[in-house]
Structure 1
Amino acid sequence: MTTPHGTPTGPDDTHASEHESAPISRIVREVADRFPGERITLGDMADAFGDRAFGLLILLLCLPSLLPGMASVFGLPMLILGLQMGLGRRVPKLPGFIARQSIKRSDLLRLSDGGSKWITRIENFVKPRPGPFTGPLADKVVGWLTVYTALMLILPGPGTNGPPAFGNIVMALGVVENDSRVTGWGILACVLGNVFATVVLGALALVAIKALGWMI
């Protein structure tokens, strides 16, 4: 196969071009089928996801963060991805220790099978809608918000993981599908979620400082 300019393309280029427009659930299924091992590394997924790697990896890392105790595990990879996205990289370049981290193939398959029908329902609403929240500048905003969300997920606090993670999931969906409207709603939800988490963590820090003062 060749490009319009006559340049030959390989199998990886074909996969990447198909991934630019394929639904999220189909991409996830294809990647899971492509790596038959028990676990799939973040590095393998970054290569397979192509131009949509940032949004899809952030989405996959955010989903477990909705569960108590899981957020801190995925916070550092999210922080690295957000930092690179905020600095304007188009595709992620993961450090070795991050690229070697893996998730269960069975967990990845659940995102495309019957257990995750909600993704298909969301895909029916999310669609390419270029606007003020698409493009390089918007990607940088999403990247820096992801960095802040990752910090909130790493820090322990009761009930502080869910709101920022939910906002980041919506943002990531918008980025993956190039949907300005959904990305905009995600940015708003992410800001509100992070404000909530910051207030709660700040209040806990003040209580801890006062308690320490009483003890001294």
Structure 2
Amino acid sequence: MPNASHEAPISRIVTEVAAQFPGARISLGDMAEAFGDRAFGLLILLLCLPSLLPGMASVFGIPMLILGAQMGMGRRVPRLPAFIARQTIRREDLLRLSDASSGWIGKVERIVRPRPGFWTGPFGDRIVGWLTVYCAIMLILPGPGTNAPPAFGNIVMALGVVEHDSRTIGIGALLTFLGCLFATVVILVLLWAGTAALGWIF
């Protein structure tokens, strides 16, 4: 199965993969195989997008954590555990990503483009992986308003990984770190407040 070329925009890659798998649903395992060395970025992107919705972050946090850890340890392509590889998404939902006329993908493709640099190298990949792990932990842990900031940064970072754009990855990495730092502070404050409240009651 041929991989999509590195120069192809996101919409073209998604369309090609959807064409290779004509069924109603496409498994993450099949997508990982089809996208080759872009699989990390695309799978993290697809798992992170629902995290912007209330109550959905913890569902996708564990798969994101596993993918991030693999990337952080230097793997070039993901090796998905069976319980993740079996997960599927609807083909029509995947195709919506390629509909440039619908808005955000078209805008992103006009900004994001292949730019080699530090963040597209092996060490940059490892940093991206561990930042994704940090983000996943923040998504798994409960906290009011703590999902969207790290998730948004990770989405930007993952788009940069998909398009091999060092500048976009760097911007996304900064946004992810700041978002995770914000979430960490909120959770620590809540833990401190909860502990203080329990101490006052008992």
Superposition TM-score tier, normalisation by shorter sequence:
over 0.9
Matches within 5 A, 1:180-191: 180-191=166-177
| 1:161 aligned partner | 147
For residues 214 and 107 of structure 1, the distance between their equivalents in structure 2, rounded to whole angstroms, comes to 50
| 1:31 aligned partner | 17
Contact conserved, 1:19 with 1:50, CA < 8 A, in 2? no
From the CA coordinates, give the structure whose radius of gyration is larger. Answer: 1
Q: Give 1:116 shift.
A: 4.1
Aligned-residue identity in percent = 70
Task: Considering Cα pairs closer than 8 Å and 6+ residues apart, tell me whether 1 or 2 has the greater RCO.
Answer: 2
Q: Give 1:104 shift.
A: 2.2
For residues 78 and 174 of structure 1, the distance between their equivalents in structure 2, rounded to whole angstroms, comes to 16
SS in 2 for 1:89: coil
For residues 124 and 93 of structure 1, the distance between their equivalents in structure 2, rounded to whole angstroms, comes to 31
Matches within 5 A, 1:1-216: 12=1, 15-16=2-3, 18-113=4-99, 116-216=102-202
AA matched with 2:152: F
SS in 2 for 1:133: helix
For residues 102 and 144 of structure 2, the distance between their equivalents in structure 1, rounded to whole angstroms, comes to 27
Q: Give 1:182 shift.
A: 0.8
Contact conserved, 1:165 with 1:190, CA < 8 A, in 2? yes
Gaps of 5+ in 1: 1-11
* CA-to-aligned-CA distance 1:93-151 (integer Å, 9 cap, x gap): 00111111122222212211257421121111111111222210000000000000000
What is the root-mean-square deviation in Å for CA atoms of aligned residues? 1.4
For residues 207 and 196 of structure 1, the distance between their equivalents in structure 2, rounded to whole angstroms, comes to 17
Contact conserved, 1:127 with 1:178, CA < 8 A, in 2? yes
Q: TM-score, normalised by structure 1?
A: 0.89
Q: Structure 1 residues 169 and 116, CA, compared in 2 at 3 Å: closer, same or farther?
A: farther
Contact conserved, 1:86 with 1:142, CA < 8 A, in 2? yes
Gaps of 5+ in 2: none
Q: Give 1:79 shift.
A: 0.5
Q: After TM superposition, where is structure 1 displaced by more than 4 Å over at least 4 residues in a row?
A: none
Q: TM-score, normalised by structure 2?
A: 0.94
SS in 2 for 1:103: strand
* CA-to-aligned-CA distance 1:8-34 (integer Å, 9 cap, x gap): xxxx1xx21x33221111111222232
